[in-house]
Amino acid sequence: MDVREKVIEIIAQQALLQVSDVTPDSRPEELGLDSLGLVEAIFAIEEAFDISVPFNANDPAQSGFDISTVGAIVAAVEGLVAQKAA
């Protein structure tokens, strides 16, 4: 399973949705993920990929981790996974 599939699976699980309901364009709030739901999803992502995601629930915009859409989250996680491998 690649990063994209796994991230979508985690987000779908957290949002209590089917994987098919989550697309790269989906925004977390559209999926019904509030800030706590997002914190839980990011924890699951960190555990799945053994990475540390810089995310501050106080001020998501300034976290340096783009959470605006599912696609942005996937891209950011791919970056962190690549950094880990480097």
How many residues line the site for other proteins (CB under 8 A)? 12
DSSP 5-61: HHHHHHHHHHTT--GGG--TT--TTTTT--HHHHHHHHHHHHHHHT------TT-GG
Shortest spacing between CB 23 and other proteins, in angstroms: 26
Shortest spacing between CB 84 and other proteins, in angstroms: 17
Contact 53, 46 (CB under 8 A): yes
Q: Which of residues 15-74 bind other proteins (CB under 8 A)?
A: 34-36, 39, 42-43, 55-59, 62
Kindly list the residues in this chain that would bind other proteins in the complex (CB under 8 A): 34-36, 39, 42-43, 55-59, 62
